[in-house]
């Protein structure tokens, strides 16, 4: 996986410059780590992970919409945001009932 990203970054390096492509690769890897951590938080504590993922998705949606491109991806992420909010509400309701 990392090799594929490095290959893509090398191809991008020809267009962006090696330094910028290297920063892009590091950023993509950091985002991947953040998303994995968010997934683990959702699995272990959906009461906290649901709002975390919803906020992350809202940020992605705002970024995609302000760029003016990838509206199909933004729409997909709206669906995921609705699911994250539903998970949050279910987790909060379950916690309230068990308390």
Per-residue pLDDT of the chain (99 residues), as tens digits, is 667 666 665 665 567 788 888 899 999 999 999 999 999 999 999 999 999 999 999 999 999 999 998 999 999 999 999 999 999 999 999 888 776
CA dist 9 and 2 (Å) reads 10
The structural domains of the chain, with segments of one domain joined by +, span 1-44, 45-99
* Sign of the torsion angle spanned by Cα atoms 8, 11, 16, 18: positive
> How many Å is the maximal CA-CA distance in the chain?
58
CA dist 41 and 48 (Å) reads 7
| Per-residue model confidence (pLDDT) at position 19 | 87
| Per-residue model confidence (pLDDT) at position 12 | 58
CA dist 88 and 83 (Å) reads 9
Could you give the angle at the alpha carbon of 84 between the alpha carbons of 75 and 67, nearest 5°? 35
| Per-residue model confidence (pLDDT) at position 2 | 63
Could you give the angle at the alpha carbon of 65 between the alpha carbons of 63 and 70, nearest 5°? 95
């Amino acid at each position: 996986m990392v090799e594929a990203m490095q290959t893509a970054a090398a191809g991008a390096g020809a267009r962006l410059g090696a330094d910028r492509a290297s920063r892009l690769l590091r950023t993509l890897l950091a985002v991947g780590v953040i998303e994995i951590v968010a997934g683990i938080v959702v699995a272990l504590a959906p009461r906290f992970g649901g709002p975390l993922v919803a906020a992350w998705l809202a940020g992605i949606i705002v970024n995609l919409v302000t760029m003016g491109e990838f509206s199909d991806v933004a729409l997909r992420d709206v669906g995921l945001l609705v699911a994250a909010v539903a998970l949050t509400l279910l987790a909060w309701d379950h916690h309230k009932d068990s308390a």
